[in-house]
Amino acid sequence: MAEIVPFYASPDGRFRLYQGDVLDVLDRIEVGGEIAMTFADPPYFLSNGGITCQAGRMVKVDKGSWDRLESLDEMHRFNRSWLEAVQRSLAPDGTVWVSGTRHVIFSVGFAMQQLGFKLLNDITWEKPNPPPNLSCRYFTHSTETILWAARTAKSRHTFNYAAMREMAGGRQMKSVWRFVAPLQAEKRLGHHPTQKPYALLERILLASSRPDDLVLDPFVGSGTTGVAAAVHGRRFVGIDLEAEYLDLARRRYEDAMAHRADTRAR
């Protein structure tokens, strides 16, 4: 099968974006066994007629057809399929981080166990400014879970302990992380409905990768993983079905690199 042409590649080739289904693209790009770290923010399958609060207004949860649930069996089949493809592409000591809410994260964790990943941590991302629960029949949903797992039980995963300890003020960093939602400055070039804050991805990258490592995001969205990777000297491959989000990821990358060059020139 011929190698797929990138949707976008930086002049130095260190930042590449591909359009298509992750299962197809990963089989057609030459990254097998080279990926040191993956961050994945797969569909949460929330767009099924529910409601939420956005900017003080009640709105329907409708992120797009990619976020609609057909059945629980189909959701789990999907999660197991893309995780298996990612696992094949990871370096022997590579790791994967997966973000999700209660709607999907238990399926992801079970699929990881089925495939022989080694679960390292479950991180709780606490949001200090969550939207209120409009039904007033549940606690306000204010967290997401991020699972961190190594490729196999024998993997000797990267963990930059000293850097995380320094970031935590000289103490061991705990598994509850507090980050606000993406800042408006992070959305000035456009946004994605499930966009993650830059600070969250920056911590993940600094915790579990090294300069020049190859980082993968199989659901690239607005490109936050790629921007953080580029800023910190990692190589990056991102995949998404939607051209508009790949173009947003490209614009954010080019903007970040221009800002970085301008800062160095001063």
pTM of the shown model: 0.88
Question: Per residue in 228-244, pLDDT tens?
Answer: 999 999 999 999 999 99
Write down the residue that tokens 């981080």 correspond to.
Answer: 97
Task: Look up residue 133 and give its DSSP letter.
Answer: -
Give the pLDDT band (50/70/90) at residue 264: low
Question: Please, what CATH class does the domain formed by 8-265 belong to?
Answer: alpha beta
Amino acid at 35: I
Beta partners for 237?
Answer: 16, 216
Q: How far apart are CA 145 and CA 128, in angstroms?
A: 15
Beta partners for 23?
Answer: none
Q: How far apart are CA 249 and CA 72, in angstroms?
A: 31
The whole-chain average pLDDT of the chain stands at: 89
Question: Per residue in 148-170, pLDDT tens?
Answer: 999 999 999 999 999 999 999 99
Which pLDDT belongs to residue 263? 66
Which pLDDT belongs to residue 30? 72
Q: How far apart are CA 188 and CA 176, in angstroms?
A: 28
Pair 143, 126: CB distance under 8 Å = yes
Question: Per residue in 189-225, pLDDT tens?
Answer: 988 888 999 999 999 999 999 999 999 999 999 999 9
Write down the domain spans for the chain: 8-265
Question: Per residue in 88-145, pLDDT tens?
Answer: 999 999 999 999 999 899 999 999 999 999 999 999 999 998 888 877 888 988 999 9
Q: How far apart are CA 17 and CA 249, in angstroms?
A: 8
Beta partners for 59?
Answer: 52
